[in-house]
């Protein structure tokens, strides 16, 4: 694992972050640097932004994200040393860049109401340890529209069983939110915000664009349950040698298939379900991209894998958690895991499927097989995993 760089926050600042859910570092960009980056984002929005159905300057929120960080002028902010130092200070781990996001709001946009961005169905929001790194490129004030936070609201989300293999959270009670406050962010400031902090962004009164960077970083030992956003080689090459460590996955092939490692935990030694035949395989197959309520944040395949599990095994899988990506055929296969001690073993083993221990899999497939590797990754005790959901479960992410 890459060693953490020197933290840029004091122990008191780190303590304040954990108490309040956010920390502010003033003036990490000069006025000139913030203005130049704002102009670059504006040019990218005019050229091509999400959603593509809008035409600038139609009143709306426009997004420049993901592999667009490779565009000239956009790369450096993703690996800014003060940003990374602050992020890794509060995460307590080296960081991965899970989302590169620049937002631009044109005059007339209505802003955003109170919400929390921990979302089990999104690659950007489904890690158990991630933060926003928000850098206003215009003032976030009454004129442009402030960014308001509810102090200590991250404490409303609590892990139910800290000793569980896959962690689960209680449903936060929004009625317990503290009053929202205005951190009075100016262009060039840095606001690092915990994933569970509630926030809102009311509309402003200006006739100019409101613009900012809203990057997301997760701890390297806390992968998103929905899976990582897939970066391409051009994006990786755009970063410095030191910055390349921030990219969690990178490939030039599309994600074409998705498979599920199903673990039975009813006995002392776990067993896993495999399809027998000429080629031993995990359940699953050709998948499709989640789109509803995800938008630019691509990479989630849970919905398609739920449908495949139902069709192949008549198994309803209420959650799953990302393990890794491997090459399969002409594309990439995204592998998820699911464990349960109450599975109907006989029903699932009929037909062409059967249960195998890790040792039995090794005997048949070989130690270097990708399925054996997936089992070992799934069982890593230093990885913090949460429960991923599909987009259609978005209203029931805590059930």
Count of structural domains within the chain: 2
* Residues 296, 320 within the same domain: yes
Per-residue pLDDT band for 3 (boundaries 50, 70, 90) equals very low
Domain-located, residue 4: no
Query: Residue 40 falls within a domain, yes or no?
Result: yes
| Pairing label, strands 385-386, 353-356 | unpaired
Q: Indicate whether 147 belongs to any domain.
A: yes
Same domain, 22 and 143: yes
Strands 61-65 and 148-149: unpaired
Clarify whether residues 241 and 264 are in a common domain: no
Domain limits for position 283: 255-396
Contacts of 21 (CB under 8 A, 6+ apart): 149, 151, 152, 153, 154, 155, 193, 194, 196, 197
pLDDT tier at 4, thresholds 50, 70, 90: very low
**Is 119 domain-assigned?**
yes
Is residue 2 a part of any domain in this protein? Answer: no
Phi first, then psi: what are they for 277, rounded to 5°? 140, -160
Q: At what angle do helices 358-365 and 370-378 cross, to 10 degrees?
A: 160
Eight-state DSSP code of residue 266? S
Q: Could you tell me how far CA 150 lies from the centroid of its own chain? A: 22
313 & 373 share domain: yes
Compute the mean pLDDT over every residue in the chain, rounded to the nearest whole number: 94
Alpha carbon distances (Å) from 338 to 125, 166, 263, 283, 289: 19, 9, 6, 12, 20
pLDDT over threshold 60, residue 6: no
pLDDT digits (tens, 9 = 90+) for 53-85: 999 999 999 999 999 999 999 999 999 999 999
Please give the pLDDT value at position 7. Answer: 60
**Structure tokens belonging to residue 352:** 């062409």
Last residue of a domain, one of 184, 213, 246: 246
Phi/psi for 97 (5° steps) reads -85, 105
Q: What is the CATH number of the domain that holds 286?
A: 3.90.79.10
Same-domain pairing of 275 and 134: no
Residue 1 covered by a domain: no
Q: Do 231 and 348 share a domain, yes or no?
A: no
> At which of 213, 246, 279 does a domain end?
246
pTM reported for the whole predicted model: 0.95
- pLDDT tens figures, 89-112: 999 999 999 999 999 999 999 999
Residues 220 and 261 in one domain: no
CATH number at residue 163: 2.60.120.620
pLDDT confidence of residue 368 = 86
- Please give the structure tokens belonging to residue 145: 């529209």
Work out the pLDDT band at 293, boundaries 50, 70, 90.
low
* Residue 6 maps to a domain: no
Omega before 12 cis (within 30°)? no
Q: Which residues pair with 115 in a beta bridge?
A: 199
Q: Which of 231, 264, 285 is nearest to 358 (CA)?
A: 264
Phi, psi of 154 (to 5 degrees): -65, -20
């Amino acid at each position: 694992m890459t060693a953490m760089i020197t933290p840029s926050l004091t122990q008191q600042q780190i303590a304040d972050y954990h108490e309040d859910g956010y920390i502010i570092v003033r003036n990490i960009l000069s006025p000139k640097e913030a203005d130049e980056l704002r102009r670059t984002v504006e040019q990218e929005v005019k050229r091509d932004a999400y959603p593509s159905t809008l035409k600038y300057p139609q009143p709306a929120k426009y997004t420049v994200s993901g592999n667009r960080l490779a565009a000239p002028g956009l790369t450096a902010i993703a690996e800014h040393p003060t940003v990374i130092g602050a992020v890794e200070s509060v995460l307590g781990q080296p960081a991965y860049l899970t989302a590169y996001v620049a937002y631009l709001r044109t005059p007339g946009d209505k802003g955003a109401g109170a919400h929390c961005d921990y979302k089990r169905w999104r690659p950007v929001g489904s890690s158990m340890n991630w933060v926003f790194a928000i850098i206003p490129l215009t003032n976030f004030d009454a004129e442009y529209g402030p960014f308001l936070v509810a102090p200590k609201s991250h404490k409303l989300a609590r892990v139910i069983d800290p000793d569980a293999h896959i962690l689960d959270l209680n449903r936060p009670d929004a009625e317990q939110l503290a009053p929202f406050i205005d951190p009075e962010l100016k262009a060039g400031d840095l606001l690092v915000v915990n994933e569970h902090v509630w926030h809102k962004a009311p509309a402003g009164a200006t006739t100019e664009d409101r613009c900012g960077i809203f990057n997301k970083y997760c701890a390297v030992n806390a992968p998103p349950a929905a899976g990582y956003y897939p970066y391409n080689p051009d994006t990786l090459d755009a970063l410095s040698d030191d910055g390349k460590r921030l990219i969690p996955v990178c490939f030039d092939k599309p994600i074409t298939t998705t498979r599920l490692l199903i673990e039975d935990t009813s006995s002392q030694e776990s067993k896993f379900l495999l399809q027998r035949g000429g080629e031993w395989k995990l359940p699953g197959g050709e998948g499709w991209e989640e789109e509803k309520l995800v938008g630019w944040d691509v990479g989630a395949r849970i919905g398609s894998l739920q449908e495949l599990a139902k069709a192949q095994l008549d198994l309803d899988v209420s959650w799953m958690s990302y393990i890794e990506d491997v090459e399969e055929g002409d594309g990439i296969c995204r592998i998820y895991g699911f464990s349960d001690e109450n599975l109907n073993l006989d029903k699932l083993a009929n037909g062409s499927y059967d249960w195998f221990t890790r040792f039995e899999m090794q005997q048949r497939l070989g130690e270097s097989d990708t399925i054996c590797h997936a089992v070992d990754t799934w069982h890593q005790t230093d990885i913090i995993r949460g429960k991923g959901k599909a987009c259609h479960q978005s209203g029931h992410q805590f059930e």
